[in-house]
Amino acid sequence: MNALVTVVFAVVFFGCILLSIALHEIGHMLPAKRFGVRVPQYFVGFGPTMWSTVRGETEYGVKGIPLGGFVRLLGMYPPGQKRTGEGNRLTRFADGARAYEWEEITPDDVANERLLYQKKTWQKLIVMAGGPMMNVLIAFVLFWAILGLHGSYQAQPTVAQIQQCIVRENQPAGTPCFMPDTPAAASGIRPGDTVVEFNGVPINDYAQLQALIRANLDGEARLVVERAGQRVALAPVHTVISGVQDNLDPSKRIAAGWFGITPTTVLVKGGPFETVQQMWTMTTQSVVAIIQFPVKVYNVVADLVQGKPRDIYGPLSIVGASRAAGEVVANDTITVTDKLVLFGSLLASVNLFLALFNFVPLPPLDGGHIAGALWESARRGWAKLFRRPDPGHFDTAQLLPVAYAVMGFLILSGGALIVADIVSPMQLF
């Protein structure tokens, strides 16, 4: 039964991702149409067309490979500059792609400025950023709904448990503790105490306390706690240096100060401001993950070849994310409410990651087109400032080799992750 539930909700999650991709493309299409750009096609998926219909001047449809989508905006490539001779190989390659697009462009399209390259810079930026910003909006709505209706579990500076013994590197799991030796045990702190001061610094929340302890390394720690309504100064101790998870890269362990308490957690609801704070934290972590993406993919492939278990902090394909969502719903140890929260949080996280990934300033990603529009505006502004001739439109067709290289990498990476997610799926429970 659990296997069936996993499959059903994996398919549901997969459908939600496809809907997110469809909305991403709508985020491009709507402002493009608003600014007068001709949009010949809007499709969900790639490959052979399964269904389509024409409304106005746009063909809408679904293709057979449900791993993405696209919207065609006419006039992505400006006309080539006049020159003598055939030019180099790169120029000929760009001209070939330009000629293919311009077969569909009519004189009326040019005269009525219905081509993307003819639009003002701010219009181009809105059109190209509209897709990823749609994913940001989806993530925001989902996170806000979860935070506002259910809340999130947040650590508090109140002690839930005292860790008695320091867990040292390479120490076998389950090693018995005969003599308490943690700084927390030596300080006399008790469960139920609330830390109100650390080395003279007033404590407002657990995140602040954690940061101070980590930065303290093996220095002296003087804590003041609130116990039964009274402020109590604990015995001075020294924190110890231990390997802890990096806040920006949870897969990485760094040397930091360690005290030895487990905080209490409470369910806290929030509004738009708290949602933005949460998304900002996730954004910084996602940027680190994107920078490390090629290395992480290589590690996934290496682990697969060597038969090692998947790193739970490694990347997932859309197949792996869907499977993970299905396993969350099928897990009997989680309440129905928590299942919905985890399902929605995973969908929101995927949307946020897709948005940030699309902002990478490389073609054919949206960020590459944004970078091209900004570069065109900058060099035209520079020429105007120094009263030089207008350099004209930036020829984005010249970047096609980069676009193909990036696309090839993404296809290979996506294929490798899909294989890994099928052969050696990530174990969440």
| Enzyme catalytic residues | 25
**Residue 244 and residue 201: Cα distance in Å, rounded?**
22
Main-chain dihedrals φ then ψ at residue 2, nearest 5 degrees: -60, -35
The pairing of beta strand 152-162 with beta strand 58-72? unpaired
Distance of CA 66 to the CA centre of its chain: 21
Ramachandran bin of 6, using left for φ above 0, alpha for ψ from -120 to 50, beta for the remaining angles: alpha
Q: Which of 103, 100, 92, 98 is nearest to 78 (CA)?
A: 98
**Residue 53 and residue 294: Cα distance in Å, rounded?**
39
Residues comprising the chain, all counted = 429
Map 59-104 to HEC letters: EEEEEEEEEEEEEECCCCCCCCCCCCCCCCHHHHHHHHHHHHHHCC
Distances (CA, A) of 324 to 20, 252, 301, 337, 427: 18, 22, 19, 17, 8
H or E element in which residue 417 lies: helix 400-423
Residues near 90 by beta carbon (within 8 Å), at least 6 away in sequence: 398, 401
H or E element in which residue 264 lies: strand 261-268
Coil, strand or helix: which one is 376?
helix
**Residue 409 and residue 68: Cα distance in Å, rounded?**
16
Number of alpha helices (DSSP H) and beta strands (DSSP E) in the chain: 12, 12
Strand partners, 153: 267
Strand partners, 244: 254
**Residue 195 and residue 224: Cα distance in Å, rounded?**
6
Main-chain dihedrals φ then ψ at residue 39, nearest 5 degrees: -120, 100
**Residue 267 and residue 152: Cα distance in Å, rounded?**
5
Strand partners, 202: 197
